[in-house]
Amino acid sequence: MKVHPRTTTFKNSYEDKNSYEELFRKSREASRRKESEDQMEFEMVIQDPTEMKKLARKLLENFTPPVVFILIGDLGAGKTTLVKACAEELGTEARSPSFSIMNEYRTSHPLIKKIIHMDLYRLNGTEDVELLDPDYEIEENTIVFVEWGEKLPSDVFEGIKKVVCRIERLKSENAESNTGDVPEPRRIICESI
């Protein structure tokens, strides 16, 4: 009887088969985690602004610096709330840079030492946006959040990992009776580009 070469390399006991399968599964998971930052995509629905901390944790756990988060959403969608939640997770406080265009914050986190927070809402047309330096240097331990990121020229932060986060309001079940006391749920879709 001829034995297939592959069957001779593995023991036939149920325990050993499970061990090999477990090793294979762990190896595959490690490979996926390594590649996942380059191709990660996820969606999350939050019911109120306090749940933004969950999203902040997920972003900070899954993307290592340097990384640029491009935040897209209507006025009041929760872009600044997300940045504030991330800053709080990193042990610092963030303020909206609507008038200053850009703020920088130092953190106490061991891996993420600096946050750059940009708000491009007030920039109008290509002349204003061209003021952004496409060769702006990002340090290895820095994360960048760009509100109104759809205005960001593609050559700014070139060569740095980018994640687009779209924040949209969802109609709540009691939208007709919503007097403003009940926060609207949000859907956040993030994907690496």
**Per-residue pLDDT tens digits for 64-117:** 899 999 999 999 899 999 999 999 999 999 988 878 888 999 998 999 999 999
Q: Is residue 26 part of a domain?
A: no
b (16+ CB within 10 A) / e for 75-93:
eebbbbbbbbbbbebbebe
**Range(s) of the domain holding residue 46:** 41-192
Q: What's this model's pTM, rounded to 2 decimal places?
A: 0.74
Q: Is residue 115 part of a domain?
A: yes
Total count of domains within the chain: 1
* Tokens coding 174: 């009691």
Q: Is residue 176 part of a domain?
A: yes
Do 157 and 63 contact (CB within 8 A), yes or no? no
Q: Is residue 14 part of a domain?
A: no
Q: How confident is the model at residue 8 (pLDDT cuts 50, 70, 90)?
A: very low
**Per-residue pLDDT tens digits for 26-46:** 545 654 554 555 567 889 999
Q: Is residue 16 part of a domain?
A: no
Do 174 and 74 contact (CB within 8 A), yes or no? no
Q: Is residue 183 part of a domain?
A: yes
* Tokens coding 38: 């380059």
How confident is the prediction for the chain on average, in pLDDT?
A: 77
Instruction: Answer yes or no: is pLDDT of 22 > 60.
Output: no
b (16+ CB within 10 A) / e for 13-42:
eeeeeeeeeeeeeeeeeeeeeeeeeeebee
Q: Is residue 73 part of a domain?
A: yes
Burial of 10 from C-beta contacts in 10 A (0-12 / 13-18 / 19+):
exposed
CATH number at residue 186: 3.40.50.300
Q: Which pLDDT does position 136 carry in this prediction?
A: 66
Instruction: Answer yes or no: is pLDDT of 176 > 60.
Output: no
Residue count (the chain)? 193
**Per-residue pLDDT tens digits for 135-150:** 567 889 999 999 999 8
Q: Is residue 33 part of a domain?
A: no
